[in-house]
Chain A
Amino acid sequence: MTTDAAIETSGLTKIFGRQRAVDDLDLTVPRGSVFGFLGPNGSGKTTTIRMLLGLAGASSGEIRMLGAPMPGALRSVLPRVGALVEGPAIYPFLSGRANLLRLDAADLHAPSATRRARVDAALDRVGLSHAAQKKAHAYSLGMKQRLGIANALLRPRDLLILDEPSNGLDPQGTREVRSLIRSLAAEGTTVFVSSHLLSEIEQLCSHVAVMSAGRLVAHGTLEELRRGEVRVTVRTPDAANAARVLTELNLPLDEPASGDTAGSGDSVSAVLVDGVLPETVTAALVAAGVRVRGLSVAGETLEERFVALTGEGFDVAG
């Protein structure tokens, strides 16, 4: 194992009863990366994070975090790690500030002298300063989420592990979290973030891993993951005609969206195979008399890649 990875797991497995919730996971999170950890509901993301943080023991496999074995070196590693696991948790009868003071006091290494200042700075960073004195049971969903993120920022961290940080946040909050992650990453903090908001991940992350039913199905830089087919999409009232032209160019047509038959909608798309240029397609369409309203060429979105990797099925894997 190399030591310059922020997180490194090998053969990491967690078995619940008969279910392999995490199955033979080999994950490498480079230092300084913003690492997106994706997967459908129940695919094992939170379980993996629990094992990384020493909350749950691995059934087998090894973990190294910030260069030290986990959970063996838990006491020296965790103070350098900020975490949001499966949503925030609050003491409803305490104010937001008192919640953070308590969690900070739990950290054996956190200096008491700077506690109040650090708590106030963290509250400020997530925009909760004005609600700091409010009892946390009166917090809205997004306010609790912000409090959970503030808890991860109580001290300067080398690694942040954020399980769905944007859950429940308003658009401003989502933007704020995005810029927060960017600025932390710029300071050199490695950020490991799980999320279902693929557009967020696409904007933020340098690296991505995709889980499906406990197994890792993709792992690499964002570019590596998205590399793949480029599609051409033609908007036209003559869809059937356009589909014929694309087929003659040997471009594999996409399955039409459910409900439509090929060429019955007002757009047609196909994979732009290597060697066929967009201008060739345009010329062929015009030559065939197709009334082209628009033509676009785009690489695969992360969402398309995600669905391709993890399947269309909506039901969670048991």
Chain B
Amino acid sequence: MSRAEPARAPGARPFALLGSELATLFRRRRTIAMLGALALVPILIAIAVRVTSAGSSGRGPAFLSDITQNGLFVGFTALTVSIPLFLPLTIGVVAGDTIAGEASLGTLRYLLVAPAGRLRLLGVKYLGAAVFAIAASAVIVVVGIGIGALLFPIGPVTLLSGDTIGAGDFALRALLMIGYVSMSLLGFAAIGTFISTLTTVPVGAMAATVVLAAASQIMDALPQLSAVHPWLFTHDWFAFGDLLRNPISWDSYAQNAVLQLGYIVVFGSLAIGRFTTTDVLS
């Protein structure tokens, strides 16, 4: 009387859960609100500079003084402003919520009984957080370029190396910038996902994750700890200047990629070890 063995049924799509995860994440009001808040950063910067554009003193975040000459720099300025706090905050919320959020809703047990497979679920959850990191960086840059084009003159962009590039090349650099910043956050997202497997209280996981980002940046600022600086996951967060030189120097890109990969491997393994062995009692 046993029904057909449920070998991978024809028509079962292995990526259905990822699709469902992304749809759930990005339809959620909280996610939309966070992306909206990130979009406000370039908008506020552009308006502030526009209103007070009398004289730029040369102080302030990177690229700020370039905005009045070329509105395309708004996106980069906003990215620089968002990296220390706003980006880690929003990604900490999403990554900290991955497993703990499902556990607190109780839906975790139903996903596992479906069965989603613990490894598959963890992977899908991490990918969701990673996609959010890309979306967050992209929103800042794209909205920044848009509002900059609206409020300021735009034209050929002068790079840090003094060369001038056209629109196509600029679009490429903007993409690289989004790629660099979101990649910088992947290790951090892995830490958040691991912390999320430790608790059923999502707010706790989110707070702990965000605190770690702050702690890492503080350690990176203390010269006494210079020995550990290269190992901090926040260490290369600002090293995207190389993307604005000609020719592009890939050194920092590669170095950061290796660092982030290291964090993904370590915290991914910890998360797997934890999540595949603990009891789901929520």
CB of B110 within 8 A of CB of A89, answer yes
Q: Is A90 an interface residue (CB 8 A)?
A: yes
CB of B105 within 8 A of CB of A89, answer yes
Count of residues in A whose CB is under 8 Å from the partner chain: 46
A-B contact count (CB 8 A): 124
CB of B17 within 8 A of CB of A79, answer no
CB of A158 within 8 A of CB of B279, answer no
Which of B5-13, B199-207, B259-267 is the contact stretch?
B5-13
Contacts of B14 in A (CB 8 A): 108
CB of B109 within 8 A of CB of A80, answer no
- B 26-44 to A, binary, CB cutoff 8 A, 1 in contact else 0: 0111000000000000000
Contacts of B116 in A (CB 8 A): 106-108
The distance from the CB of A112 to the nearest CB of chain B, in whole angstroms, is 5
A55 (CB) vs chain B CBs: closest residue: B280
CB of A79 within 8 A of CB of B280, answer no
Q: Is A111 an interface residue (CB 8 A)?
A: yes
CB of A103 within 8 A of CB of B111, answer yes
Distance of A102 Cα from B107 Cα, bound (Å):
10
Q: Is A57 an interface residue (CB 8 A)?
A: yes
CB of B8 within 8 A of CB of A109, answer yes
- A 112-126 to B, binary, CB cutoff 8 A, 1 in contact else 0: 111000000000000
Given known contacts A50-B279, A106-B121, A112-B12, is B2 in contact with A74 (CB within 8 Å)? no
Count of residues in B whose CB is under 8 Å from the partner chain: 39
Distance of A124 Cα from B149 Cα, bound (Å):
53
CB of A105 within 8 A of CB of B19, answer yes
Contacts of B110 in A (CB 8 A): 83, 85, 89, 103, 106, 151
Q: Is B24 an interface residue (CB 8 A)?
A: yes
The distance from the CB of B121 to the nearest CB of chain A, in whole angstroms, is 7
Contacts of B107 in A (CB 8 A): 89-91, 103
Distance of A112 Cα from B10 Cα, bound (Å):
9
Chain B residues near A (Cβ < 8 Å): 1-3, 5-14, 16-17, 19-20, 24, 27-29, 105-107, 109-117, 120-121, 277, 279-281
21 A-B residue pairings within 8 Å (CB atoms): A31-B1, A50-B279, A54-B112, A54-B115, A55-B109, A57-B277, A74-B115, A75-B117, A78-B114, A80-B3, A83-B110, A90-B107, A105-B16, A106-B17, A110-B114, A111-B9, A111-B12, A112-B12, A112-B16, A158-B3, A188-B1
